[in-house]
Chains A and B, each alone.
Chain A
Amino acid sequence: QQQVKQSPQSLIVQKGGISIINCAYENTAFDYFPWYQQFPGKGPALLIAIRPDVSEKKEGRFTISFNKSAKQFSLHIMDSQPGDSATYFCAARGHFGKGTSLLVTP
């Protein structure tokens, strides 16, 4: 059973646009929801994370929205830049979603 389901698999956004990646989880016991950014040949790096006691967290251009009743959380990248082009993973309890390959075009 897949613990964490992520969509879309790939995403193309123009520079300056908003990138939105979604994640759904199964286990209501999960209590920490991070998003990771990974560049080719590198390990994942924590981008932003949220705990279920809040519905939204913003850090710079990155925002997590959390919907506890729907068991979903999403990553919003505002003013997307070409340097944001990478693979993004959501995770819970050490298990990762399948990843979203984001390409931001100039």
Chain B
Amino acid sequence: GAVVSQHPSRVICKSGTSVKIECRSLDFQATTMFWYRQFPKQSLMLMATSNEGSKATYEQGVEKDKFLINHASLTLSTLTVTSAHPEDSSFYICSAISHGGSYSYEQYFGPGTRLTVT
């Protein structure tokens, strides 16, 4: 199946700094990518959907100025957590599909990034 990678797998940063997480589709072109966050023993919460070359669509309650998403190419999307605070500590997971704009196709998930803000 299709492979999605994330980097870094773990990151620890100090409160007030910014952190960038990369999501790459390794063997297919991802016209749409999704970013999720997951708290321990909880479900995945969809944060935003991004289509290559256009602005991301954020879910209700997600601060777009705090969680900056860039989908600059068909194989790369980045999530930048700006001015991170301890409450931003979470497991962030990206996923990608290879057909634009539709949820009717398989989502391929990255392995996740564990962010800890001290």
Which A positions have Cβ atoms within 8 angstroms of B? 30-32, 34, 36, 41-46, 49, 51, 89, 91-99, 101
Contacts and interface: CB of A to CB of B under 8 A. Distances in A.
A96 B111 contact: no
Interface of A is mostly: loop
A96 B44 contact: yes
Contacts, number: 54
A42 B111 CA distance: 5
A43 B110 contact: yes
The range of chain B's interface size is 20 to 34
Contacts of B104: 31-32, 51
Interface of B: 1, 4, 6, 34, 36, 41-46, 49, 93, 95, 103-112, 114
A101 to B, nearest CB: 8
Nearest to B113: A43
